[in-house]
Structure formats: structure tokens, C-alpha cells
Amino acid sequence: MTALFALLLLVACGGGEGGGGDAPDTGAATDDVGVGDVESPDSGGGGALSARVALQFEPGEGRAILVEVALAWEGAEAPPMNTWIDALEVTAAYGVLDELSEVSPGRYRATLLPPEEDEAGDIWTGEIPVTARVVVSGEVVAEQRRVPLVLPFRMEGLGQPEAVPGLVNTPGMEDSPEVSPDGELIIIGSYSPVDLGYCQVQGTAVDAVGCNHNTYDPSARPDMFGAARIVDGETIVHAIDSLGYDPSTFPTPIATPPVASFGFRRQPDGSYAEPFVLGGDAEGYTWNQTYGYTFDPVVAGRVFFSFNEISDTPDTLNDMWQVDMVVGEVNRFGYYEEGELRGWQGVRVPIADPTSVCGEAACEYGNPNITAERLWFDNERQTDDIFFVDVTRDAQGVAVAFSPPARAAFSQAERGETMPHWHGGFLYYMCGQSVCRSRLLEGADPRLDASWEPEQELLSGTTRIPWQLKGGRSGRVVATSEPSVADVEVDGEVQTWLHFGYIMQVHYGAGDLDFGGNWNMGRVRIRDGWSKRGDDGRLRSPGR
């Protein structure tokens, strides 16, 4: 009990220092529960009251996480909070929470200490679902759930990483995530209700458990291309009629779990919902989907993405395309019939001399990022380098011409850099298993080494134990990737948020082939002033 309120402030934790064993919370870990106002019983103050609770997180000292809880209530004659709220409960799935303290009226704070090590002897990393509840007369009248992330490394100056809340993340795969420049939209380029890592570990066999076990929820992924092939949670039909593919007659059959792209709208509470599908309709054919979306900052509603048109002869691998989309509607950019692409709306980005990028005509043009004057991209799965072309736009702002490609000078062939994203004078990108950035000097030529300031490592998933079945804990973070940055207006304040992908290792059983990964999307705030030249402060977790 606090000194100021006749109010039980209960802080609890579950899982303890051990981290809760091998089973990670890979369900709707970022969903809000009871979003919006919930009426409480009459308080005697002249009418029913409406309560709301909100969670946010800040980094504390070392690995500590500051958990901040805000309460709000509405009513014609709202009495003091302690006269009608029985309890404010805050629980965390892992680690230790200390006692809540009052920061100001209606605002409270507690410190969450994540476990230091897991049972495998590695640094403890992963999601920690935190729930805040307001209890009145024994009933929960307001509740919110948010999920801070513990990563092996976070650069000093960043806020506390967390999973993106709402419908974006599922137990399936959310790969190739991208946020719009204003933060109002998110696109997941590659969603599947199947853990494709698990499927590939099991050899992509049609009858493999890992290629059929799925968590498809049509309410969270409506109108998904290929959803009709999902029979139940353990069975998928791998034949694709529109491509003429039947694994029972194909000489080298492979599994084809459905994959599709989905967009989401930002909600008033900062979560994302209202999912809508977009891309080419090949009945969710796994190995040939649109991905790597980026929002054109000049032409509203226009997106760029990567896609391999499989009926191309000869096969040119992934090309970059641009197309207009309609938010909130089914965006079917084209469809396959008898193995041929029909009604395709995409306009191919012509890249001159692919040999300068890939050394051969068949070139992977992946993960584009469009700015007003330049298009950045990579050749992922080839040399894993970053390239760019300058863009010429017509009177309507449409990108109509592109210069010959050139490699960004900082891109190191021996390490690999992919998934570029430009924001505020910096190029963000994946570097190994980390997210990095480099500043390009104003007006400088990206092809020259002297044009780039020293690289900064922002986030990392690198841990002591390599990503393997019996080498680490299920639920630990093993990689960070796919950076994108948004300037989001929150309560009249513009905040800059770095969004990123992260992968958690998942164990499905004791067998050598019973493991995979859960691809999710996270975010972390970039504080004002942190992006100034020369800021290279670092905060490392113990053991690195």
C-alpha cells in the first residue's frame, strides 16, 4: 500500500529467474487485451466511471527496464481514484518486478530486472509480456498488455525495444516488415502461419510436420491468398492448381505453405490492426511472393517491392516493381492462371547492366527503399551488398528513370549488408545479425569511402551460443534485421521510432529437426538529439 492512496498496488511476476523453461510465449504476445474504455460500477460519485490503463517502457540501468503505468478515468463527477479502484496489478512473465511507486497522480513506475542468464548458460534474451490491470469490486475493468524486448545489445541513446503491439505479430512468420514514413501503416512483406524455418529444417517435405503445422487465424489475416489450402491446424494442401503444381506427380516435390503480404493501420493507442492483403495471387505459393515493400514519399499510395515473375524467360530472379495500392482493401496486383501471370499491375524498375551488381544477368534486386531522389536496394542471397540508383521523376512525381547502379562504399563484401533504409541523413541496414547505420555526408557521393561516417551498431541478436537446436533456450533472440524508421505524431509530439525485425529460436520437441524460428516486428524510440554527429555511445549487456 502506498502512503498516499488507500489502494492496493500489486506487482507480481511469473516465471522467475529461470525464464519459464523452454516454451516461449509465441502466441499473441503483442495483443492488447480490453483495448478502450470499460465502465466500472457506480462509485457513488454521481455516475458510472470509465477507466483506461496504458503501459510504456524506458531503459533503466544496465539491463533493467522501467515499467511505467498511466491511469485515466472519466466521469461527470470523478472522485479520487482511491475511492473506487481496488487494485492496480502489474505482472511480468519473466524476471523480477519491484514495488510500484507513484511518479505523479495517476502515473506509476516499477523496475523490471530480466534474468541474467538462461538455463543453457547464454545471456537471457527474448520477449517479456507485461500486463497492467485495473480491478474494481473484484472485476478487471481495464487491461493492457505490452511486450518489452531484451536484446543482447542496444546502443546507448535508444529507448527500450518492444514488440509492435496489435495484430502484426503472430506465432507464424512476420518477415520483411516496413513502416511508412509517418508511422500510420505497416506492411509485412512475408507472412506465413507456418514456421518456414521449421519447414526447411525438415527438408521442405510435403508430409513434414513442420511444413503443415500452422496457426492460421482468418480474423487476423483476412482474404489471405492460399488460405483455402489450409485444411486445419496440422494439414495443408500443397498442390497449387493455378501453377499446375501437383506434388504427387512432380519429380522433386516440395512443400508450399501459404505466404502473403499484409498491411496494417495504426490505431489511437499506438497498436496496429485492420489487416488487409496485398500482392500477386499465386494461391500463396511459398517461394514466389512479393516482399521488401517501401513507401514512395512523393506519390501517395505508391509502393515499391521485390518480386520474381516466374514465367519470365530467361528467369531474371527478383526484380523491383512499383504499383499503387489502396489501404484497407484487397490489393490483388495480378494472378496466375495455367502458370502464366495475368492482369499484372506492377511496373518493373529497369536496372541497366545487372552484371555491375551481381556479376551476371540473373540478379537479385531485393529489399528496395525509395526516397525522393534515390532508390536503395540489395542483392540478398548473392554477395549481400547494398546498391543505389538515382531517380528522375516526372511532373506528377512518378519515378520514371533510373541511373546505372552503383555500390555503396561502406558495404563490405566479406560480411554482408542488406535491407537498406534511408532516414534523416543515415542509411540503416542489416549487418550480419545486427542492425547498423552509417551517415552519408551531405551532398557526398555514396560510391566513395570518404563520403560515409563510421558505422554504428544499433541493435544485435548475436549471443554466446549459435542458433541450433540443443545449443540454446527456446524463445531467445538470435537475430535482428529489416530496419525502417518513422516520425510518428503522438499526442501532438513527433517521435522518431526505429522499427526492425527480430527472430526468436523456437523448440517444438526433443528431436534434432524439431526447431525453427518466430519472425516478429519490434520497435524502439530514437530520442531527440541522439542522431547528432559524433554520437557513438554504447551499452552492452553483461557477457558480451
Express each pLDDT in 246-302 by its tens digit.
999 999 999 999 999 999 999 999 999 999 999 999 999 998 899 999 999 999 999
Q: How confident is the model at residue 528 (pLDDT cuts 50, 70, 90)?
A: low
Alpha-carbon distances, residue 480 vs 88, 298, 522 (angstroms): 34, 29, 9
Tell me the pLDDT tens digit for each residue of 490-507: 989 999 999 999 999 999
Bridging pattern class, strands 331-337 and 272-281: parallel
State how far the Cα of 295 lies from the Cα of 299, in Å rounded to an integer.
9
Classify residue 529 as exposed, middle or buried by CB count within 10 Å of its CB (0-12, 13-18, 19+): exposed
Q: What is the pLDDT of residues 35-53, one digit of tens each?
A: 334 444 444 444 556 778 9
Tell me the pTM: 0.90
Of 322-326, 473-477, 533-537, give the lowest mean pLDDT range. 533-537
Amino acid making up residue 224: M
Write out pLDDT tens, residues 315-356: 788 999 999 999 999 999 999 999 999 999 999 999 988 888
Residue 469 has pLDDT above 80, yes or no: no
pLDDT value of position 537: 35
pLDDT for position 49: 61
Q: What is the pLDDT of residue 307?
A: 97
Dihedral angle at the C-alpha atoms of 197, 199, 200, 202, nearest 10 degrees?
Answer: 120
DSSP 343: S
Q: Is the pLDDT of residue 441 over 70?
A: yes
pLDDT of residue 138: 84
- Quick check: 18 pLDDT over 60? no
* Phi/psi of residue 95, nearest 5 degrees: 85, -165
- Cβ–Cβ under 8 Å, residues 467 and 122: no
> Which CATH topology does 8-150 take?
Immunoglobulin-like (2.60.40)
Encode pLDDT of 72-131 as tens digits: 876 545 555 555 678 889 999 999 999 999 898 889 999 999 999 998 889 999 999 999
Q: Residue 4: its pLDDT value, please?
A: 23
Mean pLDDT, the chain, rounded, equals 87
pLDDT at 305 over 70: yes
For the chain, residues classed under CATH 2.115.10 are 162-540
- CATH architecture label of 162-540: 5 Propeller (2.115)
State yes or no: pLDDT of 160 exceeds 70. Answer: yes
pLDDT of residue 356: 86
pLDDT at position 538, please?
34
Q: In whole angstroms, give the CA distance from residue 357 to residue 350.
A: 13
DSSP string, 148-215: BEE-SEE-BTB---EEPPBSS--SSEEEEEEE-TTSSEEEEEEEESS-HHHHHHTTT-TT-GGGT---
Residue 39 pLDDT: 47
What's the pLDDT band for 368 if we cut at 50, 70, 90?
Answer: very high
What pLDDT score was predicted for residue 462?
Answer: 81
Average pLDDT score over residue span 385-411: 96
C-alpha 117/C-alpha 95 separation (Å) is 11
Residues of the chain with CATH 2.60.40: 8-150
